[in-house]
A and B are shown apart, each in its own frame.
Chain A
Amino acid sequence: MTGLLATNRAMFWRIIRRLLSANRGRLFVMLLALGAGAAVTAALLNLQVDAKRRLTTEFRTFGPNVVVSPRDSSDGSKVLAESLFDHVPNHAPAGEVSKAAFLYGVVEVSVLPEDAKPSEASAGTKAVLVGYKHSYIHPERVLPNALAQYEERTNFISSLRCAVGQKLAAAVGLTQPGVLELSGPGIRRSYTALVLPSTGGPEDSQVFIYLDVAQELLGRPKTVSLIQVNAPGNPKQIEDFVASLQTEIPDATGRPIRQFTEAQAKIYDRISGVLNYTVGIVLLLTALCVMAAMTNVAMERKMDVGLMKAIGGATRRVLRLFLVEAALLGFAGGLIGAAAGIFLSIGLGKAVFGVAARPRLIVYPVAVALTVIVAILSAFPLRRLATIRPASVFRGEE
């Protein structure tokens, strides 16, 4: 009995082998269709997960999304203690936090001719002095773009320099590079000044300098006006961050900048909606399309089924043969496709975001499983073949 079973099993697999290798052209076509489906499934699923994460990063280019200000900022005269800056965490569950502290005040700005003595400066123009410091974690996410680029370019670490907005530079007649004299309450000092490119914001009429220097010029040691934070993650995560930040800094108010957080929430929803639906539809239709193609190939097996039945194959066994064949093909096609999908998604990630998409391992078994299911489903119309009469097939009637 066992001997018979073993022979049966051996025969079963032998038939399968023959079925697969009988027509190389057909094998290739089937593997191609299944593999393409699997590759697209794997790449799209991977990209979809990755793209959403990347998009939240992209939104950080809009600049700070949380601002910490004194509790009652009605008259603008209140300030924060500089030590509060260290209380803002550098990490949030969703990633790194960028932060910068700013101190604002009004100073008189005048251009110093190169060969003049400090006292010879002409009457000054009133302008806003911005003292700033940041945490060296992606400073471009919290500083005005122009300032961040300029810092990167000049390796700006000297406290003898300042950066001037374009409008202000034009107003005081500063040509790059020049020497500016800044005078705050009681102190008058000159600095090498560089002109920043236009940002279109209030930065264009401000002068930037390191926080310590600004505190000295404005006579406000160890204080800042506000702290701007760029918190990571989606709008919900930012909200959670603000809530936990508030417990760290009871003397100040942390609030999201609604201009960016609300817009981000809206746009993020739309984009992820587009991605979800497009990917869903593409996957569904790809599966159907592969299925139709596979069914087409399977229907051609009529002759084989007819022959098997003619020499005494039971319908169930014949069907099982073809289903196993389809499952094997699906598995092979799925593996090939998933492997191709890894490279595809890496390439796509690079093309869109400049960074290779991090492969998610869960995606690949899912893609292979889906392919096997599609393959088996597409072999199902063969069930109809069970009802065919071998004789009429051989006569060519059906």
Chain B
Amino acid sequence: MFLRLVTDSFGRRPRRKLLTGAALALGMAVATAALSVALDVGDRLAKEFRSLGANLLVTPQADSLPLEIGGVDYRPVNAGAYLPEADLPKLKTIFWHNNIIAFAPILEMYASVATTPDAANSPNNVQVIGTWADYHIYLSDGSTFRTGIDKTSPWFHVDGRWFAPDAGTLKRVNVFPPDLPPGAAGGHTHVPIPDECVVGVHLARRLSLHAGDHVYITYPNREDMQNYLGKPSIGCAVTGILTAGAAEDDAVLMPLISVDRLARQGPGEYRKLYVSALTKPEDDFARRDPKTMNAGEFERWSCSPYVSSIAYSIKQVLPGADVRVIRRVAEGEGQILTRVRMLLWLVTGMALLAAAVAVGASSAASVIERRTEIGLMKALGAGSATVGFLLVAEQLLLAFVGGGVGYTLGIILARLLGEKIFGVAPEPTLLVFLVVIGLAAVVTLLGSAIPLRRASLYDPAPILRGE
């Protein structure tokens, strides 16, 4: 009988139920869309903030003091310490490897740069930066990770293209001479890959260089170069002109390995490593010194992607390295992220509030109008509890249906929003669904609570008389 009453009430007056249901569904759609966006936006924005570039700087621990003025290091080549390039793939094996977006090693040298091979006598006043660009790292799980300075400094704009990652190295080529004696296997030889470089826009203007031209670089160690190459300078093709808006505009950028081999006869070593990592904004807990934490706190600290805990785990895999947080970037990012996140939560909160009030009002109205019905039920001998229970069941049913429809609507809206703003739709989460359904139930019940309480106090006679 109870069920029949509930279903009857739905079937007999579909239009009224539809209106209450529509208010509910719309309200819950607001709630779902706002919640989904608010839940998702933090991660998306954190990614956007990586366009600020690196937030961690790795330098050799044993390094001498850099004499850095305006981004240019004036130390002699043989001063200070270096770190091996070969260790770098280890960065993608740390606990936070998924948070490491990009990294790029830097080796700076001074050289004379000219447009003809003979102009080797000009002063060594041009900065040559050895680094990675569009560099591929093959990871143990079979995937490749692309990184380099084009990723750690996304504001770098190259007119043309970056140098090839293997430019200036040797390529192993198998040879099969046509007149090979029978039974002899083919051999192999090494073919040099031509050197390539990218030239900063100011330097290019000074030397009137364009993409496709050649520059000739002479490092200070001329004898070594003469012995190694048989000529005092190395010619490289300019593949692009770089606009950086900083000291790099006056520099030449080349593959790290090529710079290190020619300038220092080194095996591929760097002096600075920029790391760009996705982090969680630092709170008071994150700023504590890990040495003062107990085991539990330390675990919690190292299991949160704070910039300091990522720095800590990088230090574990790069022996002899000193990892520092670039405070200006990290803190500015944290501050803005926290604010925006809070702003969106507040907008969400307000949306929920408005939706709740409107839905509450709607369900209140639907109870008020049913005075006659309640009066009749009571006149027929139904107790206040039974009547209340019946109405609550009806409202709850409505809440679930309306909430469900609203959730679907809201998810579609959130997808549209996400795609419009970030190009990626937020994933629907169970959490939002549960919150929305719960909210729908609470709001309808609260909205109908007061009129229901009054309804249960009605004296049936005057109501039935129409008073």
Q: Which A residues lie at the B interface, using CB under 8 A?
A: 23, 25-26, 29-30, 32-33, 36-37, 39-40, 43-44, 47, 51, 54-55, 58-59, 61-63, 69, 72-76, 104, 106, 125-128, 144-146, 167-168, 171, 198-202, 204-205, 225-226, 255-263, 266-267, 270-271, 273-275, 277-279, 281-282, 285-286, 288-290, 292-293, 295-297, 299-300, 344, 348, 351-353
CB pair A352–B346 under 8 Å, yes or no, is: yes
CB pair B65–A286 under 8 Å, yes or no, is: no
Which of A267, A278, A296 lies in contact with B417, CB distance below 8 A? A278
Closest chain-B Cβ to A132's Cβ sits at a distance in Å of 13
CB pair B339–A200 under 8 Å, yes or no, is: no
CB pair A59–B30 under 8 Å, yes or no, is: no
Q: Which B residues lie at the A interface, using CB under 8 A?
A: 15-16, 19-20, 22-23, 26-27, 29-30, 33-34, 37, 41, 44-45, 48-49, 51-53, 56-57, 64-72, 74, 125-126, 153-155, 202-203, 206, 243-246, 250, 324-332, 335-336, 339-340, 342-344, 346-347, 350-351, 353-355, 357-362, 364-366, 368-369, 413, 417, 420-422, 451, 454
CB pair B339–A274 under 8 Å, yes or no, is: no
- Residues on B with C-beta less than 8 A from A33 are 357-358, 361-362
Closest to A285 in B: B30
CB pair B51–A256 under 8 Å, yes or no, is: no
Closest to A167 in B: B65
Closest to A266 in B: B51
- Residues on A with C-beta less than 8 A from B153 are 259
Tell me the complex Cα distance, A199–B244, Å.
23
Tell me the complex Cα distance, A39–B358, Å.
12
CB pair A40–B350 under 8 Å, yes or no, is: yes
Closest chain-A Cβ to B449's Cβ sits at a distance in Å of 13
Q: List 20 A-B contacts (CB under 8 A).
A: A25-B364, A25-B454, A29-B368, A106-B74, A126-B67, A199-B326, A263-B155, A274-B421, A281-B33, A281-B417, A282-B350, A286-B355, A289-B23, A289-B27, A290-B354, A297-B361, A297-B365, A299-B16, A299-B19, A300-B365
Tell me the complex Cα distance, A198–B328, Å.
11
Closest chain-A Cβ to B305's Cβ sits at a distance in Å of 17
CB pair A26–B368 under 8 Å, yes or no, is: yes
Closest to B156 in A: A258
Tell me the complex Cα distance, A278–B336, Å.
18
CB pair A25–B357 under 8 Å, yes or no, is: no
How many CB-defined contacts (below 8 Å) exist between A and B?
A: 256
The 7 residue pairs across chains A and B that have the minimum distance between CB atoms: A258-B245, A292-B23, A36-B357, A293-B362, A33-B361, A285-B30, A200-B324
Assess A292 versus B357: contact at CB under 8 Å? Given A225-B69, A263-B49, A285-B29: no
Closest to A347 in B: B346
Assess A205 versus B66: contact at CB under 8 Å? Given A43-B350, A74-B125, A281-B33: yes
What's the dominant secondary structure at chain A's contact region? helix
Tell me the complex Cα distance, A300–B344, Å.
37
CB pair A256–B343 under 8 Å, yes or no, is: no
Contacts A37-B358, A168-B65, A282-B33 known; list 4 others, CB within 8 Å. Answer: A106-B74, A202-B68, A205-B68, A293-B359
CB pair B344–A278 under 8 Å, yes or no, is: yes
CB pair B336–A263 under 8 Å, yes or no, is: no
CB pair B57–A200 under 8 Å, yes or no, is: yes
Tell me the complex Cα distance, A116–B77, Å.
35
CB pair A260–B368 under 8 Å, yes or no, is: no
CB pair A295–B19 under 8 Å, yes or no, is: yes
CB pair A271–B340 under 8 Å, yes or no, is: yes
Tell me the complex Cα distance, A342–B207, Å.
61
CB pair B417–A26 under 8 Å, yes or no, is: no
Closest chain-A Cβ to B19's Cβ sits at a distance in Å of 4
CB pair B45–A286 under 8 Å, yes or no, is: no
CB pair A106–B34 under 8 Å, yes or no, is: no
Residue from B26, B56, B344 whose CB has the most chain A CB atoms within 10 Å = B26
- Residues on B with C-beta less than 8 A from A76 are 69-70, 72
Assess A58 versus B16: contact at CB under 8 Å? Given A74-B206, A278-B344: no
CB pair B48–A270 under 8 Å, yes or no, is: yes
Assess A104 versus B358: contact at CB under 8 Å? Given A273-B420, A300-B365: no
- Residues on A with C-beta less than 8 A from B33 are 278, 281-282, 285
